[in-house]
C-alpha cells in the first residue's frame, strides 16, 4: 500500500491556472504618478469552482495602494453574485479580499471593479497577483486553501509626469451644479496646487483640455475670453493670458500666468468671458447630461484628469423631513420628490447623506444601521406602485 502525504504547500502546487486575466484602467486618462481614485478592472476566468465559503484575493504590487469597497462588475459580464448577504470587499494587506459571494461553477468570468492610488515613481509596476481559495481566513495568504492562482496578472506603466493636485469638488462656480441646457455658458474654475520646481511662470502654461463631444469654443455675441488666477492664501487676483487651440478630439485652453505661481501654494484658476450678452459669461458647457473628462497639465511636467458630471434637469420640487432631533437617536427621514421627467421602471434614485463635514465625522459610514456596504436597507414608497428596493452604499462612488 502506498501512502500519500498532502500538505498545504502541495495543495498550492496543484492549484489551477486562471485564464483570460487582465488588469486595465477604466478611464482614458494617462497613468501618472500619485494619481488617486484610479479606476481599475481586474478580469479573470476561474478553472476550479468557487464554493460560497471561499474567497478571492487580488494582491497589488508595491507602490499601488488599493482603496476598500471594490465590487463585482456585473455590468461588465462578471458572474460573481451576492451570497447570503452582499459581496464583501475589504483590505487584507495590500490586497482586495473578497468574500460572501454565491457559489460559482468553473469556467465563469469574474470582473472586479475598484479604485487605487498610483505609485510616486514612474515606470512599470510589479505584477498583480490573483488567488481564489476554498476557505476564508484573516491571513488568507498564509492559511488559504488555494484553488486557482495567477502570479503574473498584469502590470501598470506609470508616466513620468507628476499628478497635479486638483480640488475635484470644484468644477464651475463653487458649489454650483452644472445642468444640461441649450445655452450652457458658465465660467470654468478649478482649485489646484502645483509642485513644479520653481513654480509656474511664463512661458510655461497650465493647459486645460475639454472634449469636443460636448464642449465648444463658441462665445455669445460680444463675449471676450479671458482668464485670471486667485491666490487662495490671501485671495489676491493674478492676471494671465489665454490661447485656445482646437484639435480633432479636444479643445485646449492654455493659461500663461503673468506672475509666478509658487509651488506648494493653493490657487484658483478661472476661465470666463467679459461683456457677454444676457449675463451668460463663460465657456459653453455640454447640452447633454453625462460625464466628461477634463485633463489638466501644468508646465508639461504635471498632469491629471478629472471627470466632470453635467447633471440632467432638476426636480420640480424636493423636500426632506426629519422627525427626531436628539443626538445619537435613530431617526426617520421622508424624502418628497416631484419630477420633471418620468422615471422609468428599473431606474435608480440616489439620496446622498453626508457623513463628514469640515473634517468632522457626523455619522458612521453605515449611518448607525449596522449594515455592510451595498447591503439592502428597508424603505417604503408612498403613492408609488410597484414598491422600490433600497441599498446602502458607503462610498462617494455610486454603482
What would the pLDDT profile of 285-336 be if each residue is shown by its tens digit? 999 988 888 888 888 888 887 778 888 888 889 888 888 888 778 888 888 8
pLDDT score for 322: 83
By CB atoms closer than 10 A (0-12, 13-18, 19+), residue 216 is middle
Which residue carries 424636493 as its cell? 318
Q: What is the pTM of this model?
A: 0.57
In this structure, the strands spanning 95-99 and 88-91 are antiparallel
Q: What does the buried/exposed string (b/e) look like for 119-150 if buried means 16 or more CB atoms within 10 Å of the residue's CB?
A: beeeeebebbbbbbbbebeeebbeebbbbbbb
Cell numbers found for residue 264? 506648494
Q: What structural domains and CATH numbers belong to the chain?
A: 12-160 (2.60.40), 164-310 (2.60.40), 314-399 (no CATH)
Distance in Å from the first CA to the final CA of the chain: 57
- The segment with the largest mean pLDDT, out of 167-176, 261-270, 379-388, is 261-270
By CB atoms closer than 10 A (0-12, 13-18, 19+), residue 21 is middle
Cell numbers found for residue 217? 469654443
**Alpha carbon 232 to its chain's center:** 26
Of the candidates 88, 91, 285, 266, the one whose C-alpha atom is nearest the C-alpha of residue 173 is: 285
CA-to-CA dists, residue 120 to 2, 32, 62, 66, 212, angstroms: 55, 9, 11, 14, 31
Tell me the chain's radius of gyration from C-alpha atoms: 25
Residue 384 has pLDDT above 70, yes or no: no
pLDDT score for 110: 96
On the question of a cis peptide bond just before residue 203, with omega within 30 degrees of 0, the verdict is yes
* Per-residue pLDDT tens over the stretch 76-96: 889 999 887 778 899 999 999
* Per-residue pLDDT tens over the stretch 219-276: 877 678 999 999 999 999 999 999 999 988 899 999 999 999 998 898 999 998 876 5
Determine the Cα–Cα distance for residues 279 and 223; give it in Å rounded to an integer: 10
Amino acid at each position: 500500500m502506498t501512502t500519500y502525504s498532502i500538505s498545504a504547500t502541495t495543495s498550492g502546487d496543484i492549484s489551477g491556472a486562471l485564464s483570460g486575466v487582465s488588469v486595465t484602467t477604466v478611464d482614458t486618462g494617462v497613468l501618472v504618478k500619485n494619481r488617486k481614485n484610479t479606476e481599475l478592472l481586474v478580469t479573470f476566468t476561474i478553472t476550479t469552482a468557487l464554493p460560497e465559503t471561499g474567497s478571492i484575493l487580488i494582491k497589488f504590487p508595491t507602490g499601488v495602494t488599493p482603496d476598500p469597497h471594490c465590487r463585482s462588475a456585473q455590468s461588465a459580464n462578471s458572474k460573481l453574485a451576492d451570497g447570503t448577504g452582499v459581496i464583501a470587499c475589504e483590505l487584507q494587506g495590500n490586497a482586495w479580499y473578497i468574500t460572501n459571494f454565491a457559489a460559482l461553477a468553473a469556467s465563469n468570468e469574474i470582473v472586479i471593479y475598484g479604485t487605487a492610488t498610483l505609485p510616486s515613481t514612474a515606470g512599470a509596476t510589479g505584477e498583480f497577483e490573483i488567488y481564489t481559495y476554498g476557505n476564508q481566513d484573516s491571513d488568507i495568504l498564509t492559511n488559504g486553501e488555494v484553488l486557482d492562482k495567477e502570479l503574473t496578472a498584469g502590470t501598470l506603466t506609470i508616466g513620468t509626469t507628476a499628478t497635479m493636485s486638483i480640488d475635484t469638488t470644484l468644477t464651475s462656480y463653487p458649489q454650483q451644479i452644472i445642468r444640461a441646457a441649450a445655452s450652457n455658458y458658465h465660467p470654468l474654475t478649478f482649485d489646484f496646487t502645483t509642485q513644479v520646481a520653481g513654480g509656474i511662470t511664463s512661458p510655461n502654461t497650465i493647459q486645460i483640455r475639454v472634449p469636443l463631444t460636448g464642449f465648444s469654443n463658441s462665445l455669445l455675441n460680444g463675449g471676450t475670453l479671458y482668464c485670471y488666477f486667485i491666490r487662495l492664501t490671501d485671495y489676491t487676483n493674478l492676471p494671465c493670458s489665454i490661447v485656445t487651440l482646437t484639435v480633432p478630439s479636444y479643445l485646449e485652453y492654455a493659461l500663461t500666468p503673468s506672475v509666478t505661481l509658487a509651488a506648494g501654494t493653493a490657487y484658483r484658476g478661472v476661465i470666463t468671458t467679459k461683456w457677454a450678452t444676457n449675463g451668460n459669461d463663460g465657456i459653453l458647457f455640454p447640452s447633454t447630461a453625462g460625464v466628461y473628462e477634463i485633463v489638466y497639465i501644468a508646465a508639461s511636467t504635471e498632469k491629471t484628469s478629472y471627470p466632470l458630471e453635467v447633471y440632467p434637469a432638476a426636480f420640480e420640487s424636493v423636500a426632506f423631513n426629519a422627525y427626531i432631533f436628539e443626538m445619537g437617536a435613530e431617526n426617520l427621514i421622508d424624502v418628497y420628490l416631484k419630477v420633471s421627467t418620468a422615471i422609468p421602471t428599473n431606474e435608480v434614485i440616489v439620496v446622498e447623506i453626508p457623513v463628514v463635514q469640515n473634517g468632522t465625522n457626523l455619522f458612521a459610514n453605515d449611518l448607525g444601521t449596522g449594515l455592510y456596504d451595498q447591503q439592502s436597507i428597508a424603505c417604503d414608497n408612498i403613492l408609488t406602485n410597484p414598491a422600490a428596493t433600497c441599498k446602502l452604499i458607503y462610498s462617494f462612488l455610486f454603482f
